[in-house]
Structure 1
Amino acid sequence: MTVTDTPQAATFRRQVLSPVKLRLFLMRKLPMAWLAGLRLTQLTPEQAVVTIRFKFLTQNPFRSIYFACLAMAAEFASGIQAMMHVQAGSPVSMLVTKMEADFTKKAVGRIAFTSTDGPLIAQAIAESRATGEGRTVVCTSTGLDEAGDVVAVFRITWSFRAKR
């Protein structure tokens, strides 16, 4: 499915891709993400890429990134796509209802989480607006280290329901 880019989505994307505006948004709405240093490096109607670095505030006792920080970056990769697609019409509530993860390698350095589920998210939001019923989407966020090795794969179930 191809996703059409709306003017509202393009405006939202321009704002959150600005490092200063993203930091202000994170400070106001997601302060833990701001403290952890999440960065949005790419956002299109089809995919988003969010990075997190190993540093003092994200570390665990085993000298790698704490799993909760990885989960936050993975969730943000799909969540920012959902927020962008919600901008294009009537209000839609969104909520994480389930999360599963597979960890395959120690997370050190810079980890980039990519979610390519924009078309599925857009379709679920459109269906919810059309029917007034809730829709769920399982989004996959894959985290790669600087060498390109898979560190973790998260499957986040999002629920969307159009507000009436």
Structure 2
Amino acid sequence: MAISVSKLNKFVLFKLPSAYFCGVRVKAIDKDRCIVSVKHRWINQNPFNSMYFAVQAMAAELTTGALVISQIQQSGKKISMLVANNKGNFTKKATGRITFVCNDGHLIADAIKKTIETGEGQTFWMKSIGTNEEGVQVSEMDFEWSVRLK
């Protein structure tokens, strides 16, 4: 069963309800790229009238994690995944609709292949860039994913 936008958004509702209620939604996904959007609203704001950093982190992580989930599913193997590390840089107030894009899907296949071949866990970093409606970057988040056979 292939991963789709609607299946991912249903997954967010049932498995990541705080992200869902904050407005985090998958907009597009393919083999190498995932796009997630979230709009600044009362429920996800900080005291400075912009989007709370953790909401941005949820949306950014989803762009990377959805790609990992998709490729694990395609491998047909039982593989666990976990965020081992993350870092973020916030360059502008996040107001309006913020769109996060990860274009690092190409990094996953090699790690999955190596963990299947060797039985050892593998790690890799993926980047997600958040931009506002004017196309100005507001944040950049990096996630180190760990994958290993179950």
Which TM class, normalised by the smaller chain length? Answer: over 0.9
The normalised TM-score by structure 1 is 0.87
Equivalent in the alignment of 2:144 = 157
2:62 is the counterpart of 1:67: no
The structural deviation recorded for 1:102 is: 0.7
Q: Measure, in 2, the Cα distance between the counterparts of 1:104 and 1:79.
A: 23
Q: How does 1:113-128 map to 2 (within 5 A)?
A: 113-128=100-115
* Number of residue pairs the alignment of both structures matches: 149
Q: Relative to 1, partners in 2 of residues 1:95 and 1:111: Cα closer, same or farther, differing over 3 Å? A: same
The residue matched to 2:146 in structure 1 has which SS?
Answer: strand
Equivalent in the alignment of 1:43 = 29
Instruction: Write the letter of the residue equivalent to 1:58.
Output: N
The structural deviation recorded for 1:130 is: 1.5
The structural deviation recorded for 1:122 is: 1.9
2:87 is the counterpart of 1:100: yes
The residue matched to 2:3 in structure 1 has which SS?
Answer: helix
The normalised TM-score by structure 2 is 0.95
- In 1, are the aligned partners of 2:8 and 2:66 still within 8 Å (CA)? no
Q: Alignment RMSD, CA only? A: 1.1
Q: Measure, in 2, the Cα distance between the counterparts of 1:84 and 1:33.
A: 19
Instruction: Write the letter of the residue equivalent to 2:78.
Output: P
Q: How does 1:3-152 map to 2 (within 5 A)?
A: 8=1, 11-13=2-4, 17-18=5-6, 21-88=7-74, 89-152=76-139
The residue matched to 1:12 in structure 2 has which SS?
Answer: coil
The structural deviation recorded for 1:22 is: 3.9
Unpaired segments of 5 or more residues in structure 2?
Answer: none
Equivalent in the alignment of 1:4 = none
Q: Relative to 1, partners in 2 of residues 1:49 and 1:129: Cα closer, same or farther, differing over 3 Å? A: same
